[in-house]
């Protein structure tokens, strides 16, 4: 008995046979304009049937992330008067319509199948592999974006800011053959009231890494910045803050990429938003208050992700420690390992009204890594340990 996707493929072959004007063979793909809509309707039905039948667990994950993301966005946007959320195209497709978003990598192999360059069995193996390699990073990205919005919402902010990225992007230019990365200096704009929230970026070598969103937490009248999709930068900032500590990534002018693995996201707490708008330029990275590592693979520990978490901790030296946020139950061996190395680092107090030309005060790093793990899934209440660090409870009054 034929499965769903093979039946859909048979319908596609029948459509082509009934329309001899269509020519699809090795080296040639010819679809007349008047048949284009009908062809791709049937073509896409094959791709969707394959996803439903052969990669159902990936589809379930994508549907869940899409649903949770939309729910969180619907709550956060009106609360902070955000009119629009922009994100990379691949993530946008999946959030908007998960099934349509997942079919993207199947276009070329399906044409190869029609041209007899792949057998049905070979197509099934190759297509399933391509869907997994394409979809799983996007699903994780969607989970990270949900996490940013969930934490921001729990902070009950009354204001949202960001550096106007569209203006910064407009200033970017393609480096000429006689130019080197790291030698172009530019001022970074200050954060402004946020109207369009940009979650993520497309392409490589952005000019700078900037906070996705900076929210004001009114209880303590301070600002919390979120930075994700961290990567290498091309420009050097002329007006980087001197109030906070920077970690040297590489010397200015050194063209090789830094030997770093980037955390899932970093968080900053400050009394002045302009000091936490810029996260990184060509040669430096703003030392984070908190690192959050997102784990949406149930086998993340077995795959050595804990080693990466520890390396990131050592490289970026988070002042208040790192959190591992998992979507699945915490492996027993992870809980035991972390409980045996329970951190004793105390949260560093913020310095009120510190002069801008003076470095901020920081807690000295402990020898024991301050790494905590929280099993969250999509339960916002489980994020309490992070919120308690970002918004500490007021001290009890003594008589």
Higher pLDDT pick, 122 / 186: 122
Is 148 a domain residue?
no
Q: Contact 170/244 with Cβ under 8 angstroms?
A: no
Backbone angles phi, psi at 73, to 5 degrees: -65, -40
Shared domain for 162 and 123, answered yes or no, is: no
| Centroid of chain to Cα 365 | 27
pLDDT winner (highest mean) among 126-140, 199-213, 317-331, 382-396: 126-140
How far is Cα 297 from Cα 97, in angstroms, rounded to an integer? 22
Is 397 a domain residue?
no
The per-residue DSSP string of 319-385 comes to TT-EEEEESSPPPHHHHHHHHTT---PPPPPP-TT--TTSPPP-PPPPSS--EEEEE-TT-GGGGHH
How far is Cα 383 from Cα 99, in angstroms, rounded to an integer? 29
Shared domain for 59 and 182, answered yes or no, is: no
What does the mean pLDDT of the chain come to? 86
Query: pLDDT-derived band of residue 56, with 50, 70 and 90 as boundaries?
Result: very high
Shared domain for 162 and 254, answered yes or no, is: yes
Q: Is the pLDDT score of 389 beyond 60? A: yes
Is 200 a domain residue?
yes
Q: Contact 58/103 with Cβ under 8 angstroms?
A: no
Shared domain for 131 and 165, answered yes or no, is: no
pLDDT of residue 208: 87
Residue 194, by phi and psi: left (phi above 0), alpha (psi -120 to 50) or beta? beta
**pLDDT single digits (tens) 104-161:** 999 999 999 999 999 999 999 999 999 999 999 999 999 999 999 999 999 999 999 9
- The whole domain housing 45 covers 4-135
Is 58 a domain residue?
yes
- Give which of 199, 210, 230, 229 is closest to 94, Cα–Cα: 199
Q: Contact 162/192 with Cβ under 8 angstroms?
A: yes
Query: pLDDT-derived band of residue 361, with 50, 70 and 90 as boundaries?
Result: very low
Is 142 a domain residue?
no
Q: What is the mean pLDDT of residues 210-214?
A: 94
Shared domain for 63 and 180, answered yes or no, is: no
The per-residue DSSP string of 228-263 comes to ES------EESS--SSS-EEE-S-TT--SPP-----
Shared domain for 19 and 166, answered yes or no, is: no
Shared domain for 83 and 204, answered yes or no, is: no
Q: What is the mean pLDDT of residues 347-376?
A: 57
Q: Is the pLDDT score of 351 beyond 50? A: no
Q: Where is the domain boundary, 103, 135, 167? A: 135
Q: Contact 165/197 with Cβ under 8 angstroms?
A: no
Is 141 a domain residue?
no
Q: Is the pLDDT score of 14 beyond 50? A: yes
Strands 322-326 vs 290-295: parallel, antiparallel or unpaired: parallel
Query: pLDDT-derived band of residue 185, with 50, 70 and 90 as boundaries?
Result: confident
Weakest mean pLDDT among 159-168, 247-256, 262-271: 247-256
Q: Contact 216/223 with Cβ under 8 angstroms?
A: yes
Shared domain for 126 and 168, answered yes or no, is: no
Number of domains the chain is built from = 2
**pLDDT single digits (tens) 309-342:** 999 999 999 999 999 999 998 877 777 766 665 5
**Strands laid side by side in the 213-217 sheet:** 192-193, 159-162, 213-217, 222-228, 265-270, 290-295, 322-326, 371-375
Query: pLDDT-derived band of residue 259, with 50, 70 and 90 as boundaries?
Result: confident
Shared domain for 108 and 175, answered yes or no, is: no
Q: What is the model's pTM?
A: 0.87
Q: For residue 198, what is the enclosing H or E element?
A: strand 196-198
Query: pLDDT-derived band of residue 383, with 50, 70 and 90 as boundaries?
Result: very high
């Amino acid at each position: 008995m034929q499965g769903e996707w093979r039946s859909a493929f048979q319908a596609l072959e029948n459509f082509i046979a009934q329309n001899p004007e269509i020519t699809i063979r090795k080296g040639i793909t010819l679809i007349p304009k008047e048949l284009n809509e009908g062809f791709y309707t049937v073509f896409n039905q094959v791709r969707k049937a394959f996803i439903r039948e052969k990669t159902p667990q990936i589809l379930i994950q994508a549907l869940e992330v899409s649903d949770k993301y939309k729910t969180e966005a619907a709550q956060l946007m009106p609360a902070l008067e955000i009119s629009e959320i922009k994100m990379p195209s691949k993530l946008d497709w999946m959030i908007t319509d998960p099934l349509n978003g997942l079919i993207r990598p199947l276009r070329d192999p399906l044409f190869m199948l029609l041209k007899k360059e792949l057998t049905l069995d070979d197509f099934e193996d190759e297509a399933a592999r391509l869907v997994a390699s394409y979809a799983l990073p996007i699903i994780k990205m969607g989970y990270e974006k949900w996490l940013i919005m969930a934490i921001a919402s729990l902070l009950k902010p009354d204001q949202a800011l960001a550096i106007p990225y569209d203006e910064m992007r407009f200033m970017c230019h393609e480096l000429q053959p006689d130019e080197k990365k790291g030698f172009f200096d530019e001022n970074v704009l200050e954060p402004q009231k946020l109207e369009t929230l940009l979650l993520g970026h497309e392409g490589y070598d952005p000019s700078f890494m900037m906070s996705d969103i900076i929210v004001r937490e009114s209880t303590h009248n301070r600002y919390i910045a979120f930075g994700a999709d961290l990567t290498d930068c091309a420009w050097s900032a002329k007006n980087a803050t001197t109030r906070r500590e920077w970690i040297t990534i590489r010397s200015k002018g050194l063209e090789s990429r830094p030997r770093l693995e980037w955390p899932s996201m970093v968080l900053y707490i400050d009394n002045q938003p302009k000091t936490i708008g810029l996260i990184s330029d060509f040669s430096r990275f703003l030392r984070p208050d908190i690192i959050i590592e997102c784990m949406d693979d149930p086998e993340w520990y077995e795959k050595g992700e804990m080693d990466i978490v520890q390396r990131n901790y050592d490289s970026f030296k988070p002042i208040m420690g790192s959190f591992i946020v998992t979507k699945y139950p915490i492996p027993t061996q992870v809980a035991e390992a972390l409980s045996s190395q329970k951190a004793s680092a105390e949260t560093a107090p913020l310095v009120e009204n510190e002069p801008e030309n003076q470095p901020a005060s920081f807690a000295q790093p402990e020898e024991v890594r301050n790494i905590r793990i929280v099993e969250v899934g999509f339960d916002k209440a489980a994020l309490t340990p992070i919120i308690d660090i970002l918004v500490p409870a007021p001290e009890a009054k003594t008589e």
